[in-house]
């Protein structure tokens, strides 16, 4: 599932390329991906793309007349930026063609992604899940983070990935952040003191910032379309059985309802 560094790299790659281009036409080979309807999508023709923003796991493409195209790629949504004649790869879901002969294509192997076209910022809350989203992990201040986490009782990994607490962090980066902060994923907030929580906040920003730089460089070099997420730099996530990069102990892998949690029991002891 694409997370903040993946979406930021996609945003940084697409924004200078799309900015100022006018849509010539759209196609939706998998129409139900466009939750607000393909008729609405077709009305993008003749309109210009501008800035791209991100909130949590949503990318927001601003269109000239104030409309916003909001895309949540969910598990396997993948963006492509190609010349119109390029061969189509993957399970092609939506295509937006532009006046410079390029296309923004979106493929989605599991067809779970969601596209919404809204009339303006005031309509964003009509998008399912939107009204309950917490502040973005890259925008929340340390004070706000500390204030919000005080009312959370559950395990820390579940809290970090709860989009109502803060949004943008998923299964992969929560493992990386907790390893960096030396906190066990099942630690309860009540067992953590203020120093733990401040360290967690600092590690969250550090891990995301470092990863954004790495993924940005990769995507600028190889372009979009080959992957939906870039994970080669991760230290513990999906590294079960390998030595911990900090202490050399074996990294644990625990699978629950299909998603894997990885951690080092030596560096991330569990105090209950």
Rule CB under 5 A: which residues touch Zn ion?
A: 244, 246-247, 249, 264, 266-267
Contacts of 6 (CB under 8 A, 6+ apart): 215, 228, 229, 230
Shortest Cβ 205–Zn ion spacing (Å): 22
Shortest Cβ 246–Zn ion spacing (Å): 4
- Closer residue to Zn ion, CB minimum distance, 41 or 156: 156
Shortest Cβ 4–Zn ion spacing (Å): 24
d(CA 94, CA 41): 10
- Closer residue to Zn ion, CB minimum distance, 96 or 177: 177
Shortest Cβ 263–Zn ion spacing (Å): 9
Q: Residue 27: beta bridge partners?
A: 95
Shortest Cβ 13–Zn ion spacing (Å): 34
d(CA 17, CA 62): 14
- Closer residue to Zn ion, CB minimum distance, 16 or 248: 248
Shortest Cβ 189–Zn ion spacing (Å): 22
CB 44 within 8 A of CB 27: no
Residue 219, CA distances (Å) to 9, 80, 182, 230 in order: 6, 11, 30, 9
- Closer residue to Zn ion, CB minimum distance, 57 or 184: 184
Residue for token pair 């080959």: 226
d(CA 216, CA 214): 5
- Closer residue to Zn ion, CB minimum distance, 221 or 241: 241
d(CA 36, CA 249): 50
First to last CA, the chain: 31
Shortest Cβ 180–Zn ion spacing (Å): 11
- Closer residue to Zn ion, CB minimum distance, 88 or 242: 242
Residue 45, CA distances (Å) to 21, 27, 99, 129, 186 in order: 11, 11, 10, 28, 49
CB 227 within 8 A of CB 2: no
- Closer residue to Zn ion, CB minimum distance, 102 or 246: 246
């Amino acid at each position: 599932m694409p997370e903040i560094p993946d979406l930021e790299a996609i945003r940084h790659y697409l924004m200078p390329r799309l900015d100022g281009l006018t849509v010539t036409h759209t196609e939706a080979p998998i129409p139900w991906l466009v939750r607000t309807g393909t008729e609405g999508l077709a009305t993008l023709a003749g309109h210009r793309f501008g800035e791209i923003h991100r909130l949590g796991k949503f990318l927001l493409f601003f269109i000239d007349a104030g409309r916003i195209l909001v895309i949540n790629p969910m598990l396997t949504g993948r963006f492509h930026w190609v010349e119109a004649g390029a061969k189509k790869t993957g399970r092609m879901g939506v295509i937006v063609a532009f006046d410079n002969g390029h296309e923004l294509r979106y493929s989605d192997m599991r067809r779970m992604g969601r596209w919404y076209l809204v009339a303006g910022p005031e309509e964003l809350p009509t998008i399912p899940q939107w009204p309950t989203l917490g502040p973005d992990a890259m925008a929340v201040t340390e004070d706000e983070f500390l204030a919000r986490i005080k009312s959370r009782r559950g395990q820390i990994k579940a809290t970090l990935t709860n989009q109502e607490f803060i949004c943008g962090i998923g299964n992969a980066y929560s493992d990386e952040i907790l390893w960096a902060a030396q906190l066990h994923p099942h630690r309860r907030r009540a067992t953590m003191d203020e120093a733990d929580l401040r360290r967690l906040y600092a590690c969250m920003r550090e891990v995301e910032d470092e990863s954004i730089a790495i993924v940005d460089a990769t995507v600028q070099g190889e372009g979009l379309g080959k992957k939906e997420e870039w994970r080669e730099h991760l230290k513990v996530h999906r590294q079960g059985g390998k030595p911990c990069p900090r202490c050399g102990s074996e990294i644990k892998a625990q699978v629950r309802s299909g998603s894997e949690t990885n951690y080092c029991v030596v560096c991330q002891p569990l105090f209950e």
